[in-house]
Structure formats: structure tokens, C-alpha cells
Structure 1
Amino acid sequence: MKVLICGAGIAGLTLAWHLERAGWEVELVEKAAAFRDGGYMIDFYGPGYQVAERMGLRPRLQRDRYPVDELSYVDRDGRQTSHLKLTSGLEDVVSLLRGDLARAIADDVRSPVTYGATVEAADQHAGGVSVRLTDGTTREVDLLVGADGTRSRVRELAFGEVTPRYLGHRVSAYVMTDAELSHRVGTRYQMLTEPGLMAGAYALRDDRLALLFLRREPDPVLSDDPAGELRRHFGGRGWILPEALARCPRPPELYHDLVTQVELERWHRGRIALLGDACQAVSLFAGHGASMAMAAAWILADELTTPGELTTSGDLTAPGHLTAPGELTDALARYQYRMTPVITEVQRFGRRFIQWMAPSSRWRIHARDLLFRLAALPGGNRLFVNSLSPGGHNLITSRSNVLEKS
């Protein structure tokens, strides 16, 4: 069985890892000219972390993780207004750059990746899918998977134009090197929030600093000058922002996008399936996109292979009785059935959490600061952690049935 995966991000790479070990012939295509490093800091846990452990990635992720010992809010003068010590309750959460997680998976994927190309056309027929890429080459495959993000080209080919649900905010992120600023921020996640604005920073290794910006904006049209836009809206806000934004890069080093969710009734059509943000985007506000991407990839691979073929080691298994072409539709339907409930829950949580992560008014900022002070009381740390996860931290991390067939 041959599969072409469009998108070499976390979802696409995870699917490739599993299918190649089950004997599939796998190829990936990626629109970006090269592997995409960097991105913003994520808290990685839940079903996705369980998948990473099954893939043998735990030692690599523990090596690449960053210690986050405090969440801290500051004012324009850099004075702390509220904070929360993270000394307990987050032992099973790994904080790392999104790009570092993708790199850990990519380093263990053996299938070829064609960079600088994407899917231009796809024609389904009785024997498979004829795919034409933007570089002019063609492929004949049994299955085409679109793991190509919220603006998925594969989704457009299969379902026509789909408008993601805009959550009223723009997000930007970049990594810079500055020993003084990195030392000043330290091993704590610092944030400055004002109504409709949030800027966060965290120190990385090698004197680097990761920065994240959120801004409320009703117009869902991206600026042609995202660096200039950041300077206009954040440059006069004090703290470390004037120095940091003076060296703000341009895309692609500067990540800049709309905060959206993707909601579809169907994730597949014939021999074309969608994965990750192409059909399941939960948004930055939900904070579980990477975990959901890896969980969904595991489930899709599980349905496309016979029992026992998903290994926990890096060794290739002997190809078993792979899913026959006529069984693909049923396998894809089961994949969606298993994954839909948790995606729906996490998306709902993301929409509720907007007002806490990016408060729209002063009173909401004061309410958040009060929550932090309550969290400092005995037992408050665990309550706070539960409030930051859909259904509670324990539920999302212990829900093993998300990864198991019912």
C-alpha cells in the first residue's frame, strides 16, 4: 500500500513513522522549502505524550525539555503583578519548542520528504489516487492524506473551500539571541497582558529568548508587514518589548497567523483523508494541538493496519495483512469516530479559555490575578492545573481509551 502525506509537520511525520513500520510505502511532501524549526513554546502532555512514549521518544523529549518553574505576569515596568510557582502538579508535562518536538519525530522517520512542493491536483479512481505536485511530478497512491494545516490544499481539493472559524486574534512568535534579555526573563514564563493584548517570553538555551504575541483583531486579514504591526501595537508597552521588537525578524523566521479552529462534518472522502490542523485545529487557546495531532495520527495508523503492527520500537516489523483498498473507507470512518469526541471537547475548551489567556478588559485581568493568588494556597496548584485543561488535567492525561479501540 502506498500513501502520500501532504505536510511534514507533527501530524504528518507521526503518521509516516507508524505506517512505514507497518510496511506501507510512505512519501511526504512539504510546501516549506526546508524543515521548519522554532515555533512557540508548548506544554506537551495527554494522549499525544502517550503516543510519543510508545514511539520511544521519551528520552529525547526529556533531553530537549525546558524547566518552567513559574508563571509570572508583569506590568510595563517589569514589576510582577501575580505569579504561580509550578513546584507540583505538572510532573507529567513537558515544556519544549514545537519545532523541537517535530524534529524529534523527523529524526526517526525513514521515508523520503520532498520539500518546496505541495499537492496541485488529485484525481480519485477505482485503483487509487493520481496526484500531481506543484513541481510537475506525479504520483500514483492508494491513499492521500492532507496534514497540511488550517489552509489545507488537500482539504480544498476534496471538499472545496472551507473557512476556518476565526477566534478574533492574531498570533506571532519568534526566537532571538540576546544574553541579557534571556537572563532577565530566566526559567519562568513571563507575560504582560493588557486588554486585547498579550506578550510572553521564556529563556531558551544558548542565550536565546522565545517570544509570543497575541492581539485581539476583528479583521481576519493578515498584515503584509507583521513585524511592523507588532512594533506598532506592542513596542510602546514597556517591559522588555522595545528591545526585543527592535530586532523582530521577518517571515519565515517570524511566525504570524490567525488564531482559528477547523470544524468539519467529515474528515475523509474516498481515498483522501485529513489529519491534524487540516480538520482538527483546536487553536492556540486550547493549547493541545501537538498532543491531538499525534493522537490522531496514531489512531489513523491503527485503523489502517492490522493489530500488533504498531510497534513501540524503532525496528521495522514484517509487513502483515495490510488494509485492502476496499476497506479504506471503513477504516477512515472508524478513525473519525474515535477521535471526534476529544477534538470537540478541546475545541470548546479553547473558546472558553480565550478570556483567561487574552483578557478583553481590566476586570478580567484582575480576576485572573486573583485566581493566581488563590492557586498559591494549599491545594490550589492542582485546582489551577485542572482549570487549564479540557475536562481537567487528570482526564486528558489518563484517558487511555482515546488511543484504544472501543
Structure 2
Amino acid sequence: MKKKILISGGGIAGLTAAKFLTAQGHEVTVIDRAPSFTKAGFLISLKSFGVQIMEELGLLQELQAASSPSEFVSFVEKDGQVIQHLSYEKMNKNIERSVLISRGGLHNVLYDHLKNQLNVLFSTTISGINSAGNKTKVTFSNGQGMEADLIIICEGLRSPTREKYFTGSQMEDFNTLYMGGRLKTKHSEPVGAFKIYIDVNKMLSIYPIANDEIAIQYYIRDTDDLATIKQRSTETLQESFSAYSAEVRDLLNRFAEEGLMFVDKMGMVNASTLVNGNMVLLGDAGYCPTALSGMGASLSIYGAKALSHFVSKSPDDLRSACDNYNTLMQPIIRKFQTNARNNASSFIPADENKLDQFVKFFRAASDDELKKTMTDPIVLTEDQLKFKANK
């Protein structure tokens, strides 16, 4: 039976869910606080099951066309000495494939595919939710509203709807400033060969993604609130890497002045349940680990498919569908969020001793040890890929 489904948040998770649920014949409405969608965004690595699901949606060709080449990565110390040089092909051998793409690029692939099939209300948010039986009346910020059988909340890490209606959820603050974006500039670096600088309380990644463009991302430990961090982000950038080479400093200064930049503070949501009545959390709003896990986008896509899978199995019992989704997702969430915490500790070492431990281990590690560290923690089991939950 066709259901009225509201998706609040038209990001990667929301649009993937919309694609699956629309294909099932449900009446799907998407609202988003943004006035329009853009292609801007930091680089993400879509891996393994995330790529598989995009292929299932018939979007692999578009995904590859929007992606950036990725061949090698060198982990280096702040003076440029190489710790370890890795081939992406070797490193990703046990996860089938990996696609490097900007978050905006991935989002645009999904939106381009859906925009003529989907009702998207821009500059619109949820202002109130009132439930009576199996029906729920949602009021929008513009005073309008709708009745919905299911409300999927994909509003991102700082979701106001989650904060209001999911009182058992908490935000875990990694106390880490994150900045990412791209700079249009001519350069002589080989495209697809990346450098990741590992240092005490910070990590800097430089990605030559085209002959005239470099993507830059970095993490810096910072305990201030987000508003303060954003206000002094340029100053923090320049101070944090002042001891680096003149070439790196010049690149970062130009990035701060001319680049397309995204600034945020790393965190993730710990939710005891993803379900409250006929409301369900999806993506960053409910569980996606920080970018430090390397799997946030893939988990958003997987969660969207998992939820739609259970809806397809019991469209007339959406409460059970949501409960099954929650049961499946909780152990996966714990695994990937643990991986994010471990990566934060390893790749952003808190002191010189931990930095020294990282350098010694990575420099001496075998291919098998590196694979175990880099890719084994991000693989799902066969049962999880088939949406079999261990109750």
C-alpha cells in the first residue's frame, strides 16, 4: 500500500532513501533548509558497499565521471620525510573498489537522477510534529504542512528535529576542527598522488585532483565551540602549519584566501535508538561516524537502502520496519564509530610519544598489517549486506 513519506534533509542519505522509496511506489516529499543544492563540498572516499549500492541504483557511470583519480598516498612527517607510500589499488584490494569524489559531486549525481521524479521543498524545515495513532501531522517552517505515515530525519549532525524528539541521543564531540575544500591553481604535483602529513594534534591532506586544482583537508585538535572555531579558522590554519615548508605554507595561505572551504567541528551522534514512533533517524543525524572513519557517506547510503528494504518487506507495518532497521544498524554503528575513535587517536596523535609510535609502526608495517589497519575495520559481514539482523 502506498505510504506518505516525509524526508527532512535532502543530503546523500535523504536522496538515496528517496530514490529507493519512490521506486517502491510511495509518495515521497523531501524538504531541505537550503535555498538550493550546490556541487561544493570536501572530498570523500566512497568505498565498498557504498559503490555497490550506487551501481545498483544505475549511477555507477555518473559516479565515476564525477570522481577524481586516486592512485597513491604517501604518509609523511612535517618535514616531508616519507613514513609509508601506499598504492590505493593494493590498499583497497579486500573492499572491491573505492571512488574519490567531492561530497557535493556525489550529492549532485543523486539529485540529477531524481530531480524530475521528486517533490523537493527548499528553504523548508520542520517546526512541529503531532502524532495521533498511525498518522502524524507535520508543520513546516513556512506554515504549511502534511500528514505523513513515516518521517525520515536526515538533517545532519546537528539536527534540530533529533534534538527535540530523540532525547536519548547525545553528540560526541571529538574536539577537532575540520576544514576541507578545493583551490583552483596550477601546480606540478602528479594528479592522483596524495600526501598526508601526520603531526602532533593535527593532520593535513593535500590531493592534486586535476592539473589546475588541489583539494586540501585538515584536522586540528581544538576544544572551542563551533562559532569561535569558524571565526578564527584562517588564523588557526596559518598558525598550526607555520613550521612547515614554504611551499606548504604558501599553498595553505592561498587556500585560505581564494579556496572554496568548508569548516566544521568533528563529532558523531550516539543514539540509543534510531526510532521514535513513526520517526526514524538516518545518516549523520543518527549515526554516521565522523569523516575520520572514512565511511560516513557509504554508511548513509547503506542505511537508506536498509531502511527501504524493511519498508518494502512490511509497508503496512512501518513500526516493525523501523524497529528491524534499528536492530540491524546498532552493531554496525558501534563498529564504525569505534573505528572513528581509533583513527582519531592514531592519525591525529596527541603527543610526541604517540606520533613516534605511529611513525615507527607505519614505516615498518607489512602490506598485511597495513591492510588490517586501513581497510579491515570497514568491511560489513555477508549477513549485514543481506540485511540480516542478529536479534
TM over 0.5: yes
Correspondence 1:383 to 2:385:
no
1:399 is matched with: 382
Correspondence 1:198 to 2:196:
no
DSSP-derived class of the 1:237 partner: coil
**Of residues 73, 76, 86 in structure 1, which corresponds to 2:75?**
73
- In the aligned structure 2, how far is the partner of 1:19 from the partner of 1:239? 52
Correspondence 1:141 to 2:131:
no
- In the aligned structure 2, how far is the partner of 1:252 from the partner of 1:187? 19
**1:190-243 Cα shifts (integer Å, max 9, x gaps):** 122321111111012361111101011233444224233323333553354432
**Of residues 173, 176, 188 in structure 2, which corresponds to 1:166?**
173
1:328 is matched with: 318
Asked if 2 retains the 8 angstrom alpha-carbon contact of 1:42 and 1:97, the reply is yes
- The amino acid that maps onto 1:12 is G
**Of residues 339, 359, 377 in structure 2, which corresponds to 1:349?**
339
Q: Give the deviation of 1:72 after TM superposition.
A: 1.4
1:312 is matched with: none
Gaps of 5+ in 1: 307-321
DSSP-derived class of the 2:63 partner: helix
Give matches, 1:151-230, under 5 Å: 151-160=158-167, 162-180=169-187, 183-184=188-189, 186-205=191-210, 207-222=212-227, 223=229, 224-230=231-237
- In the aligned structure 2, how far is the partner of 1:239 from the partner of 1:399? 49
**Of residues 119, 126, 129 in structure 2, which corresponds to 1:119?**
126
The structure-2 alpha-carbon separation of the partners of 1:43 and 1:32, relative to structure 1 and needing over 3 Å to count, comes to: same
Q: CA RMSD in A?
A: 2.5
DSSP-derived class of the 1:335 partner: helix
**Of residues 13, 16, 26 in structure 1, which corresponds to 2:15?**
13
* Structure (1 or 2) with the greater strand fraction: 2
The structure-2 alpha-carbon separation of the partners of 1:288 and 1:279, relative to structure 1 and needing over 3 Å to count, comes to: same
For normalisation by structure 1, the TM-score amounts to 0.85
Asked if 1 retains the 8 angstrom alpha-carbon contact of 2:83 and 2:363, the reply is no
Correspondence 1:55 to 2:57:
yes
1:372 is matched with: 362
- In the aligned structure 2, how far is the partner of 1:227 from the partner of 1:33? 27
**1:153-205 Cα shifts (integer Å, max 9, x gaps):** 2212322485401122111111110112xx33632221223211111110123
Q: How many residues align?
A: 380
DSSP-derived class of the 2:113 partner: coil
Correspondence 1:22 to 2:24:
yes
- In the aligned structure 1, how far is the partner of 2:247 from the partner of 2:307? 44
Gaps of 5+ in 2: none
Q: Give the deviation of 1:67 after TM superposition.
A: 2.7
- The amino acid that maps onto 2:118 is S
The structure-2 alpha-carbon separation of the partners of 1:239 and 1:333, relative to structure 1 and needing over 3 Å to count, comes to: farther
1:64 is matched with: 66
- In the aligned structure 1, how far is the partner of 2:368 from the partner of 2:45? 16
For normalisation by structure 2, the TM-score amounts to 0.88
- The amino acid that maps onto 1:302 is H
The structure-2 alpha-carbon separation of the partners of 1:355 and 1:129, relative to structure 1 and needing over 3 Å to count, comes to: same
Asked if 2 retains the 8 angstrom alpha-carbon contact of 1:185 and 1:202, the reply is no
The structure-2 alpha-carbon separation of the partners of 1:258 and 1:185, relative to structure 1 and needing over 3 Å to count, comes to: farther
* Structure (1 or 2) with the greater helix fraction: 2
Q: Give the deviation of 1:134 after TM superposition.
A: 2.0
- In the aligned structure 2, how far is the partner of 1:32 from the partner of 1:99? 13
Asked if 2 retains the 8 angstrom alpha-carbon contact of 1:47 and 1:403, the reply is no
Q: Give the deviation of 1:261 after TM superposition.
A: 1.7
**Of residues 79, 98, 101 in structure 2, which corresponds to 1:96?**
101
- In the aligned structure 2, how far is the partner of 1:83 from the partner of 1:401? 32
Asked if 2 retains the 8 angstrom alpha-carbon contact of 1:185 and 1:201, the reply is no
DSSP-derived class of the 1:170 partner: strand
